Structure 1
């Protein structure tokens, strides 16, 4: 799903402080959530953790840089003749390498096992990299890395050495996946082989018709795809009540950018154990360059597949009820890895590995009809380079559970729970959205449209308020370059994000804050512990100013993030402490203001907009009335300046009011008892109220019980100062 964002008028965030990133073996999650992520048949080793004669690139989180798209934000650059040597972590006979070469170039890496050069080389090319999506606001050239795999034709043991040496082209090596590929499976009894129908296992001839005939002949049974490479020039259709099975994805390979394209199916389709590798070099959304485009029908499954160099792995529309997608690898897609594009019911997407997507790696988008009772569970996502690791756009009773997500970039968070509709008819979030046991590593990114950052886990009331019950539990967030949890209305329209609970989170090293609240709404936090917080615990500045407040309720058991960023006119930069308070700065200007009532267009925000000619007026003939200003953090306010418009038409009047304060927005105490204050045009219609010394307050309330000049409370400006 395209992650286009509306441009918002927000202050810019400064330079990014790059965080150190160590070796990540098999993207192993923290021990507290050992179940997070997929159980994988391979072990990944970062190139920067290997021995090399090359140079390290990164770390860097800046969009458009090579290191920003690398696993761990670091990689190793090899000029011709330089090498990187890995210590093999497990018994293996196969390897997959994520790499980059300069745009327009191709070549190979020589391969050495324990010092001996193999006859085989590992091909590398820029053909499937350097993707541009100019129609997506804020995107730059991206998709720098690609994957190349090789059967070593020999067994290596843990502790052996496998080296890759550049020859004739510069290669940046990111990560190597070592695995023990199983021997080819044997043909199932009674199956229809595609070679019996004329398919060419050499890959030279066109096997499309042979596959179609085999699918038709095997209805109710198995289509067998023997070891070999098969070239398809167009997609299959009419696939139903059949199993398509290969000898294993290292052995049975289909070369095609479109495998199945059909709008409907009776279902009971099972696809397993082969590879589909495409030739997609750019993202063209009008083209169905997908492994599956449309519907497999109810009670179907996809398992044990290797899907690479496609636009989307699975773009699923129509009836896919009870579909299971499991144990697959989806690599190098120019758009989503998988998208449940509405109507999905009871779909389970689990134990898959996804790397290098050009949009959301896993997405549910409730277009036309809601996705319901579907889940993303125990998946491992690495390096989506233009959007989110996992994104839920609308839907009812959705689960995102025990996933491991690392290294998002540009327009994305690790997980996004959103009411961004993109198109109509859209079905917003409803029921209960369960986000449980997920581990997020180096997730969140600078949004170039907003000019400020996105959190590791984002709840976004983009096009409508969030009314669903959003339950976020057992989350581990590590090395977020910016914030951990973000609550925002990404369109800039200030829709509320409500009914949110965050229970049992562990946050380790955030660049800025733990909670980034930018829209009205409410969330309760329980058992959220944080260490290594870069700037402050909370940034609470709903946008637009005056649109409402965000209430962060302390449900107990929280620690390490009790401070609040004090200046909503600036964004915290990673590692930047709260600015020193300026005693001459009006703490109320631009802050969120609410009131017990308003008359016509004279809304509360007009009392804090810095314009003495605009004003708030309460409901008429309805005393008492109150105006409340959220200062964003606890402040030792000592002086208020209250104003009415200075024009001569505003005659002198006396307002009777008391001053109240609160630290949490719910329990208020009286700071200054009620008294009469005279506003006189001769002295600028201005009143100064001195407050007694005492503890700081965050929420400032003026409680008005009378006005001699009009039957309502009125203020053109409420200013608050530290001295």
Structure 2
């Protein structure tokens, strides 16, 4: 997989990564802890409560080059947290000052792809206070994708879909004579990965962790985005559980342990015991089927279930052409699973390409009356993907990183379930999604989660469903073709019915450029593509910070603009701090009400009201109802209720950085 120029040279980083500023021999600043590159006070009470301190590389001491800020897709800064990072060449370093005691770190980084795709490995030296040196082996084998959906690992490939319209030429290449020349690699993306390291001892606040690119490595450049410092407790032990070692599991990872884990599960079910995965690396190259069982690890830093992706000789009944490590409930058609409890281990996959029919997810199937807590899921296709009907699943305190597709998806028929206090970083599609494709998802909640840098699509997305809630989440830095929060009547979803509650969320640097429409989206956007959106949508207490284009957007696609509308949308007690374009961009028929919606640092007109583009003498087909208390002058009286203020391609004015209200 890969980014910009194929065997990226240092010079190419400027082209791919945006402008940079060198910092030679900078002394270490005081440690600056941020959340999604923001002061923690700006997001207090929003997002996951985590046990690590996040520090951005651009705020640390370095003799490398700060790249960004830049929000342009297919660039290194656009996919970085806060849209900035630090590029190091051999011999250069970035040094972080620990804000609190730590014995482990997570480093988010990017290194070049190989010229033919497939990735490289390269060393990164880690030293604390000038000593205690260790070397991390970084890899780009799980990064770097190219081309059109569902993407390619080959930077040399021509268009996957020459019959699709593309913005690069403003044409359908296969219908153009002569066909246009397309720059290769085409649309590089998914540049970053992360790696964890136990430091072997506990260091104090004020100690300095230096990351240095050694001479003679395989990478012409290394980009460091951020460092998380952790204080990891000792391994957990369960002496009364069925220990998988007693059934032949190999903690060295050399032999496959899947059959041994199955045997431990069968024994534990008969004896009504939990299953214990002790410290170690356990090789598993297929699904572990779970039902009526508790599986506990020693902690996600100590117990790692790791596997290869395996090609199947014939497609599976679920149409998978590969299998790989994962813990799966039985599919709903087979009766589903229940009373499953997974906790305290890591799932490390080997997924390097996106094949939508493959079930190579960290956790899957149907799990009712179950819990998933404290897992670290890395390098699978989707962190957790569930196909109901199923009910009462609790997903808490997990970290899901570097997925090829979604972080968590309630695909269909999931009810009364909760996703709370999770961190999702660098998903290749929606960070958190509820997709009511064949059966509606009902009475589910996404609460107090942090979603960072989804490369494609949205931070949090609802596609149809009834009485679902998105609350107290923090969503930062979506990269392309999506928003912070999205409600979409699309992908064959069932209608939105009942209520949708979007409450007390914060987005920052959200709202991306839609390639096909060639317009900027909103930090929250509602999209009526296949049906009306007429459920009671209540957006209350949200904060939209530093929105790249618009804060709030309602839209219907041009071919259906006279068929579908968006109504019953209500916004209350919302604050908008910074927009590149407008507070509200309306490109659909319908209506919305606004009460105590305050805005400042608005780039263009407060309301860009195009309605359904008929520009009738009676005004726009979209009405904005003022319920009072809307401060900041954005909802000017002359715009109400449906004055046409349409600018199809408004200019972008970069907003000021967010600040306390």
Kindly indicate whether residue 553 of structure 2 is the aligned counterpart of residue 543 of structure 1. no
> Which runs of 5 or more structure 2 residues have no equivalent in the other structure?
1-17, 22-30, 115-119, 151-163, 167-185, 308-323, 656-661
Kindly indicate whether residue 67 of structure 2 is the aligned counterpart of residue 57 of structure 1. yes
| Residues 133 and 283 in structure 1, CA contact (< 8 A), matched pair in contact too | no
Kindly indicate whether residue 192 of structure 2 is the aligned counterpart of residue 192 of structure 1. no
- When residues 492 and 529 of structure 1 are mapped into structure 2, their CA distance, relative to the original with a 3 A threshold, is farther
Give me the whole-angstrom Cα distance separating, in 2, the residues matched to 1:222 and 1:29: 42
Task: Report how far residue 417 of structure 1 moved.
Answer: 1.3
| Residues 386 and 410 in structure 1, CA contact (< 8 A), matched pair in contact too | yes
| Residues 125 and 211 in structure 2, CA contact (< 8 A), matched pair in contact too | yes
Task: Report how far residue 571 of structure 1 moved.
Answer: 1.5
Task: Report 1:458-497 matches (<5 A).
Answer: 458-490=525-557, 492-494=559-561, 495-497=564-566
Give me the whole-angstrom Cα distance separating, in 2, the residues matched to 1:266 and 1:416: 30
Say which of 280, 296, 300 aligns to 1:228: 280
Say which of 9, 29, 45 aligns to 2:55: 45
Give me the whole-angstrom Cα distance separating, in 1, the residues matched to 2:145 and 2:32: 28
- When residues 29 and 244 of structure 1 are mapped into structure 2, their CA distance, relative to the original with a 3 A threshold, is farther
The answer for the alignment partner of 2:600 in structure 1 is: 531
CA-based RMSD of the aligned residues comes to 2.2
Task: Report how far residue 214 of structure 1 moved.
Answer: 1.0
The answer for the alignment partner of 2:131 in structure 1 is: 116
| Residues 609 and 645 in structure 2, CA contact (< 8 A), matched pair in contact too | no
Task: Report 1:12-51 matches (<5 A).
Answer: 25-27=34-36, 31=41, 34-51=44-61
Give me the whole-angstrom Cα distance separating, in 2, the residues matched to 1:413 and 1:23: 27
Say which of 265, 276, 279 aligns to 1:215: 265
Say which of 649, 652, 657 aligns to 1:571: 649
What secondary structure is seen at the aligned counterpart in 2 of 1:398?
A: strand
Larger radius of gyration: 1
Say which of 335, 339, 357 aligns to 2:427: 357
Deviations, residues 378-423 of structure 1 (Å, cap 9, x unaligned): 0001000101000000000000000000001111100001211x13
Task: Report 1:159-198 matches (<5 A).
Answer: 159-167=206-214, 168=217, 169=219, 170-189=221-240, 191-198=241-248
What secondary structure is seen at the aligned counterpart in 2 of 1:81?
A: coil
Give me the whole-angstrom Cα distance separating, in 2, the residues matched to 1:375 and 1:576: 33
Greater shift, 177-186 or 31-40, is seen at 31-40
| Residues 305 and 325 in structure 2, CA contact (< 8 A), matched pair in contact too | no
Greater shift, 369-378 or 540-549, is seen at 540-549
Deviations, residues 558-604 of structure 1 (Å, cap 9, x unaligned): 12213569763542111299xxxxxxxxxxxxxxxxxxxxxxxxxxx
Give me the whole-angstrom Cα distance separating, in 2, the residues matched to 1:491 and 1:155: 58
> Which runs of 5 or more structure 1 residues have no equivalent in the other structure?
1-16, 578-723
Greater shift, 549-558 or 243-252, is seen at 549-558
Say which of 202, 210, 233 aligns to 1:155: 202
Give me the whole-angstrom Cα distance separating, in 1, the residues matched to 2:147 and 2:357: 13
Total equivalences in the alignment: 552
- TM-score of the superposed pair, with normalisation by structure 2: 0.81
Task: Report 1:22-421 matches (<5 A).
Answer: 25-27=34-36, 31=41, 34-104=44-114, 105-118=120-133, 120-132=134-146, 134-135=148-149, 140-167=187-214, 168=217, 169=219, 170-189=221-240, 191-219=241-269, 220-237=272-289, 239-256=290-307, 257-261=324-328, 262-264=330-332, 265-296=336-367, 298-420=368-490
Task: Report 1:565-714 matches (<5 A).
Answer: 568=646, 570-575=648-653
Deviations, residues 527-575 of structure 1 (Å, cap 9, x unaligned): 1111111111010002343696110111111122135697635421112
- When residues 24 and 62 of structure 1 are mapped into structure 2, their CA distance, relative to the original with a 3 A threshold, is farther
Give me the whole-angstrom Cα distance separating, in 1, the residues matched to 2:40 and 2:101: 24
Task: Report how far residue 32 of structure 1 moved.
Answer: 6.7
Say which of 606, 611, 631 aligns to 1:559: 631
Give me the whole-angstrom Cα distance separating, in 2, the residues matched to 1:159 and 1:23: 12
